[in-house]
Structure 1
Amino acid sequence: MPGKVKKDASRGLRLNMIVDWLNKKTPYGGVTVKELAEKFEVSERQVYRDLNTIENYLRVPLVRQENGKAVRVRIESGYLPSLSPEKATVIFLSLLQQKGSALSGHLNEIKDALVSTLFKYHYDPKELAVEKLQKRIHIVEETLAEPEKVGGLFAVLVQSIKDSHRVKIWYYTTHSGEETERVVEPYGLICKHQNWYLVGRCRKRNDIRVFRVDQIKDVFPYTGEHFEYPADFTLTGYMASSWGVINDGKVCRVVIKFDKRIAHRVRNVLYHPSQKIEEELPGGSAVVSFEVCGLAEMTGWLLQWGDMVEVLEPQWLREEMRAMAERVARVYRPGQ
């Protein structure tokens, strides 16, 4: 009897490992019975028995396709594998975080479907207390005034990126306060602080531009006008030196002194990949350097720290920060 228990346990482990492997291989067309036999060191006949058990007892829907002598197996589309309570909770909280963003259009439907699937058979609702958990998590984020509308435009942009076709957008330009009409070849999307930005080649400017999605008033997809995605372009490479979402091509070395009151932040948080602590000063302050472009965005970040940061280099940025501080001070002068 002890031998049988060990054998059953060994088979149970193998069944779970097969399901996990099928899950990983399904997006790539699945895996052959022969490959499963070789990977798990059992006969092909045993693999067929295991697949029958997985399908009939574990209730994992499988699709089998014969190609000559080979039989390829994959998990049926729409199957959601079981997750641990920890992973299920992470998914749930991630959905909560998107409330009020461009992704929130169908958020409640998706959340309900996920919660139903993830928790229906595996967990006691009283122990999981999903609703209690939701009430005890408060997300402090900016929210869109019309998330459903922005979400609809966002979906069109995603489809255009997938299919590589041009779009016409009506875009509100902040610095001019005007709405402009552009035809764009969409390369990709960037997300910063839950705000989404479209990156693409603007045919009007014949250059790569970044458009904030919630400032796009409307989108018209030219589904019949496809473009060739540039082979030498990657979003990661394009954004590598950018402080935020703007790449103006002017990489500059910036050196900043962080007061002891906030120096721990740059020790614990990487604000940019190029961030480097140059010197630890007596008393707890720190001198930090960055190699960045798009400094217009960086100045706003620096202002939030008030008198707790000091720009040391370059000189022109130091002077610009001083001028900005003076303009802010004038706003608050008595009698203004």
Structure 2
Amino acid sequence: MSTYARNRDYPEALIKILLTIIDMTTEGGATLEQLKDAYEDVRGNRPHKKTIDRAIKRLNVLFDPLAYDNEFSNTSQPIETERENGKLRYRFTRDLASRQVDPTAAFLMALSLYPQQRGMLGDQFEVVMKLVFEEIFSKLATYGNMHKDIEQYVYVTGAGPTEPQKSFHLIELILDGIRRQKRITFQYLRTYDGTLTNRQVEPYGLICRFNNWYLVGRCCDKNGRRIFLLSQIQNVRLVENSIYTIPADFSLHREYSACWGVWTSDKSPKPEKISLRVGKGLAEKFRTTCFHDSQQLTPLPDGDLEVTFRVTGAQEMLPWLLGWGNSIQLLEPAWLVEELKTQLQKTLALY
């Protein structure tokens, strides 16, 4: 009877090796060095070729119990090794994406989860585990193929942070502060005058709007809730000898779901109605694009479209409204119409 290849107890390394092979199969196969890199990423040390060979045998057993004694099998191994131009190439030969598990196999899988019942399965236990892994990796194969298609055929661009890693570090630190109920201190760059200000904040949460991350929290210096753009935050640290509690009635979703942007207030205002008249040339754009969860459309007899929103912080709509030029007419509220006129007059004065 076949015995498992020794791999010690490093399942994470096995998974990383397998995913590397699956990922590189469409490009001719993974090299030995790539598999060593995958192992080293998980374990932290460079493996010998024999370690990789044992891992491949172990993976082949998981997919096909007969594959370990390959001299007695008439089928190709799930992972095949070939030498090309002096380099070993490892390729995955199975079509995982098409794998389906029938109800009987699903029952056997469930039964196999109970150690006391495994004796009932006899030789089927290896087959059951094979089915389990094939079903799991079929999902990974589908994801891998989708990821490759996205990389090759989809290009996403637009405004966003120039240093996204900096935002990730800040997010990690802020979430740590929230979990531990610690205040944070930082310097904040005011955009209107370029001055660095010192802030101490009790963090409530994070918001991502229009590809930018924001911190929401109570500013101790201003004694009120404020919102801070992460890219303007510098020199952050936790205040270890502090403690605070997020108000029990505070909810990020409730406070900001109606916002057009990130306008904030300690007392949440009621959303107000914003009404636009969209020309028929642009009407289809609004039929196929939702600019806010509250968006409502009403066709007009001449082919134009009336679009309404119910939002808070409507002043933040001004740059968006200006960007449409004469294709959109703002109908209400009156105060926002006057604000828009003022902005247009200031812009015209520049020319």
TM-score range, shorter chain: 0.5 to 0.7
Partner AA of 2:336 in structure 1: L
* Structure 1 stretches lacking a partner, 5+ long: 1-7, 23-32, 34-43, 62-80, 93-129
Alpha-carbon deviation of 1:306?
0.9
Offset at 1:57? 3.6
C-alpha displacement at 1:298, in angstroms?
0.9
Whole-angstrom distance in 2 between the partners of 1:256 and 1:316 = 14
Q: Specify whether residues 135 and 298 from structure 1 end up closer, same or farther in structure 2 by C-alpha distance, changes over 3 A only.
A: same
SS at match of 2:315: helix
Cα deviation, residue 88, structure 1: 4.3
Contact 2:105 2:128 in 1 (8 A): no
The letter of the residue matching 2:340 is M
Residue 208 of structure 1 corresponds to 225
Q: Using structure 2 for the length normalisation, give the TM-score.
A: 0.61
Distance in 2 between the 1:235 and 1:53 partners?
49
Normalising by structure 1, report the TM-score. 0.63
Alignment of 1:317 onto 2:336: yes
Q: Is the 8 A contact 2:186 2:199 kept in 1?
A: yes
Match of 1:272 in 2: 292
Matches within 5 A, 1:129-168: 130=148, 134-168=151-185
Q: Higher Cα Rg: structure 1 or 2?
A: 2
Q: Which deviates more from structure 2 when the two are superposed, residues 244-253 or residues 195-204?
A: 244-253
- Cα distance change of structure 1 residues 265 and 153 upon mapping to structure 2, 3 Å threshold: same
1:252 to 263, 268, 272: 272
Return the match for 2:187 from 170, 173, 194: 170
Alignment partners' CA distance in 2, 1:9 and 1:310: 58
For residue 257 of structure 1, give the secondary structure of its aligned residue in structure 2.
strand
Secondary structure of 1:186's aligned partner: strand
Distance 1:18 1:282 in 2: 65
Q: Is the 8 A contact 1:184 1:201 kept in 2?
A: yes
Which residues in structure 2 correspond to 1:1-336 (within 5 Å)?
10-15=103-108, 45-46=116-117, 53=125, 57-58=129-130, 81-82=136-137, 83-88=139-144, 92=147, 130=148, 134-248=151-265, 249-250=268-269, 251-277=271-297, 279-331=298-350, 333=351
Structure-2 separation of matches of 1:181 and 1:58: 59
1:198 is aligned with what amino acid?
L
User: Secondary structure in 1 aligned to 2:192?
Assistant: coil
Seen in structure 2, the aligned counterparts of structure 1 residues 242 and 9 have a Cα distance that, compared at 3 Å, is closer
Q: Deviations for 1:287-313, whole angstroms, at most 9, x for unmatched residues?
A: 122221112211111111111111111
Q: 1:173 to 1:234 in 2, by over 3 A?
A: same
**Are the counterparts in 1 of residues 105 and 131 from structure 2 also a CA contact under 8 Å?**
no
Contact 2:109 2:128 in 1 (8 A): no
Offset at 1:17?
6.3
CA distance in 1, matches of 2:116, 2:194: 70
- Write the distance in 2 (CA, Å) between the matches of 1:161 and 1:54: 46
DSSP 3-state at the match of 1:262: helix
